[in-house]
Structure 1
């Protein structure tokens, strides 16, 4: 298990591993910047809940050119256990973070999606709302890329990729492309691969 591997490394080993990874990402980014003559603007980071976006940031309506997101698969992956040491190192209460995941804010589903488990339906309900809000926040002609993966819960395949595509089209997006990326060595994983759903908001 990944958690056991992290436990063996300890906080120091984890720090070194993450530092090297961040350094490699930075070097690749600088290479792309130089290769394509990119110009970066100063970034502004806002930590908040997308489901509260319209109420808290009404000026974000049709503000963004593009959105890239990867919703967590909380019903398939134990994020608390997987990144336990990392969150302890940063002094973050992961349980509080987990309570803000999509699908974790309500107790009963508002509708049904076939015979899917309640926790999956709750996730879908919040995911659908999130897609609608992202549509609201994008400029006409803006593009969105959502990274999702079909998972297995209780031996049953959960069709998150097609459900997400459906939510995008229902929100008004024009579907453009789907790119599938198999996860190597994923034989025993709940998620065998990920898909990138690319859509565009009509002008």
Structure 2
């Protein structure tokens, strides 16, 4: 750690990270709420970015980051017997969530689709393009691709477009409600 409190992660030298617990103002309120109570939060860092770079392709290009170290969170919905089922799926950015086959079976619905942007933003309390598996609504399932757990550090949304979270891959399995799934991303 540098004398000013900033940390540069060896795997991402272009990103200066800060201990997230000292900078909860850089994340969305639901994310801050979970982090403040989560025992593993002391392992999580936050980096400020230009909001125009929040999309994975722009960020990885600008900072020369590997796609495999970025986790994309998509929210899927389906229904069975009149009961709506929502799941957040976190996959490596070099893959896509297997929504039509694996996710559909896991949430036990006939048809799974992406939750509308408006609903995802409203129900999560997060900004579009910043939705993260950290601090999701309690009724949502959280499916995490097991390949992310092998990454030393995973870059995730922070709930807002102006920052990103840096989370040790293995710690993703400890998120509340996390279900680790093989081959979630294809």
TM-score (norm 1): 0.23
- The structure with more strand, counted as a fraction of residues: 2
Task: Tell which structure's C-alpha radius of gyration is larger.
Answer: 1
